[in-house]
Structure 1
Amino acid sequence: MGMERQIFRELSRTTNVFGLKLWTVITVGAVAVIFVTIVVVFWLLCSSSSSQRSPKSSSSRKKELSSGTRNTPPSCCCYAHTLLERRSRHQAERESADDPLTCISVTVSTKTGDSNPILPPTDLGWGQSYSLREIEIATNGFADETLLGEGGYGIVYRGDLPDGTLVAVKNLLNNKGRAEKEFLVEVEAIGRVRHKNLVQLLGYCAEGTQRMLVYEYVDNGNLDQWLHGPLAETNPLTWQARMRIVLGTAKALAYLHEALEPKVVHRDIKSSNILVDTSWDAKVSDFGLAKLLGSDKSHVTTRVMGTFGYVAPEYCSTGLLNERSDVYSFGVLLTEVITGRDPVDYSRATGEVNLVDWLKQMVASKRSEEVADPQMKVKPTTRTLKRAILVALRCVDPDAQKRPKMGHVVHMLEADDFPF
Structure 2
Amino acid sequence: MFFKFTLSFLLLCRFAASQQEDVGFTYNGFRGVNMSLDGLAQITDNGLLKLVSTTLAQVGHAFYPLPVSLMNTSTGNVLSFSSTFVFAMFSELTIVGGPGIVFVIAPFREFPGGLPSGYFGLFNATNMGNSSNHIIGVELDTLQNEEFNDINGNHVGIDINDLKSVEAIPASYFSDKENRRIDLNLFSGQPLQLWVEYNGIEKQLNVTLAPINVPKPTIPLLSLKIDLSRFMVDPMFVGFSSSTSALDVSHYVLGWSLKVNGQAKELSLSQIPKLPRIGSKTKSRIFQIGFPVIGASLVLLLIFIIQFTVRRRKKYAEVLEDWELEYGPHRFKYKDLYKATKGFSEKELLGIGGFGEVYKGIIPTSKAEVAVKRVSHDSRQGEREFIAEIVSIGKLQHRNIVKLLGYCRRKGELFLVYDFMPNESLDKFLFNQSTTKKTLGWNHRFQIIKSVASGLLYLHEEWEQVVVHRDVKSSNVLLDNELNGRLGDFGLARLYDHGGDPKSTHVVGTFGYLAPELARSGKPNPSVDVFAFGVLLLEVACGRRPIEGQGSEECVVLMDWVVSCWSGGNILETVDPKLGMNYNVEEMELVLKLGVLCSHSLASARPCMRQVVRYLKGEIPLPQLPSLTSEGSCDLSTWCPYLGSATSLSSSTITDSLLSAPR
Same-fold call, TM > 0.5? yes
Shift of 1:182: 9.2
2:441 aligns with 238
Stretches of structure 2 that go unaligned for 5 or more consecutive residues are 1-306, 625-663
CA displacement 1:122-174 (0-9 Å, x = unmatched)? 451544x4322222222222222211122333322111123331111222324
Matched, 1:131 2:333: yes
Distance (whole Å) between structure 2 residues aligned to residue 286 and residue 265 of structure 1:
12
1:414 aligns with 617
Distance (whole Å) between structure 1 residues aligned to residue 413 and residue 578 of structure 2:
43
TM-score (norm 1): 0.66
Shift of 1:260: 2.1
Q: Which of 342, 345, 361 is matched with 1:140 structurally? A: 342
SS at match of 1:313: coil
- Over the aligned positions, Cα root-mean-square deviation in angstroms equals 3.2
Structure whose residues are more often helix by fraction: 1
Q: How does 1:153-302 map to 2 (within 5 A)?
A: 153-162=355-364, 163-177=366-380, 180=383, 184=387, 187-206=390-409, 211-231=414-434, 235-302=438-505
Percent of residue pairs identical: 35
Q: How does 1:32-181 map to 2 (within 5 A)?
A: 121-124=324-327, 126-127=329-330, 129-162=331-364, 163-177=366-380, 180=383
Q: Given residue 288 of structure 1, which amino acid in structure 2 is its aligned partner?
A: G
Distance (whole Å) between structure 1 residues aligned to residue 409 and residue 480 of structure 2:
28
Distance (whole Å) between structure 2 residues aligned to residue 293 and residue 148 of structure 1:
32
Q: How does 1:305-344 map to 2 (within 5 A)?
A: 305-344=508-547
SS at match of 2:327: coil
Structure whose residues are more often strand by fraction: 2
Runs of 4+ that moved beyond 3 A: 55-61, 116-120, 174-183, 206-211, 230-236, 347-352, 416-420
1:379 aligns with 582
Q: Given residue 303 of structure 1, which amino acid in structure 2 is its aligned partner?
A: H
Inter-CA distance 257–173: structure 2 relative to 1 (3 Å threshold)? same
Q: Is the 8 A contact 1:330 1:395 kept in 2?
A: yes
Distance (whole Å) between structure 2 residues aligned to residue 402 and residue 324 of structure 1:
10
Shift of 1:120: 5.4
1:354 aligns with 557
SS at match of 1:321: coil
Matched, 1:304 2:507: yes
Q: Is the 8 A contact 1:264 1:291 kept in 2?
A: yes
Q: Is the 8 A contact 1:236 1:376 kept in 2?
A: no
TM-score (norm 2): 0.43
Shift of 1:293: 2.7
Q: Is the 8 A contact 1:394 1:403 kept in 2?
A: yes
CA displacement 1:63-85 (0-9 Å, x = unmatched)? xxxxxxxxxxxxxxxxxxxxxxx
Inter-CA distance 178–195: structure 2 relative to 1 (3 Å threshold)? farther
**Higher relative contact order, structure no. (Cα contacts within 8 Å, ≥ 6 residues apart):** 1
Inter-CA distance 156–180: structure 2 relative to 1 (3 Å threshold)? farther
Q: Given residue 131 of structure 1, which amino acid in structure 2 is its aligned partner?
A: K
Inter-CA distance 189–284: structure 2 relative to 1 (3 Å threshold)? farther
Q: Is the 8 A contact 2:378 2:413 kept in 1?
A: no
Distance (whole Å) between structure 1 residues aligned to residue 322 and residue 578 of structure 2:
49
Inter-CA distance 148–59: structure 2 relative to 1 (3 Å threshold)? farther
Q: Given residue 333 of structure 2, which amino acid in structure 1 is its aligned partner?
A: S
Inter-CA distance 369–207: structure 2 relative to 1 (3 Å threshold)? closer
Q: Which of 388, 393, 402 is matched with 2:605 structurally? A: 402
CA displacement 1:201-253 (0-9 Å, x = unmatched)? 22333456553222111110101111111348965421111111111111111
Distance (whole Å) between structure 2 residues aligned to residue 316 and residue 239 of structure 1:
35
Stretches of structure 1 that go unaligned for 5 or more consecutive residues are 1-51, 62-115
Q: Given residue 147 of structure 1, which amino acid in structure 2 is its aligned partner?
A: L
Larger C-alpha radius of gyration, 1 or 2? 2
Inter-CA distance 227–186: structure 2 relative to 1 (3 Å threshold)? farther
CA displacement 1:28-58 (0-9 Å, x = unmatched)? xxxxxxxxxxxxxxxxxxxxxxxx9xx9899
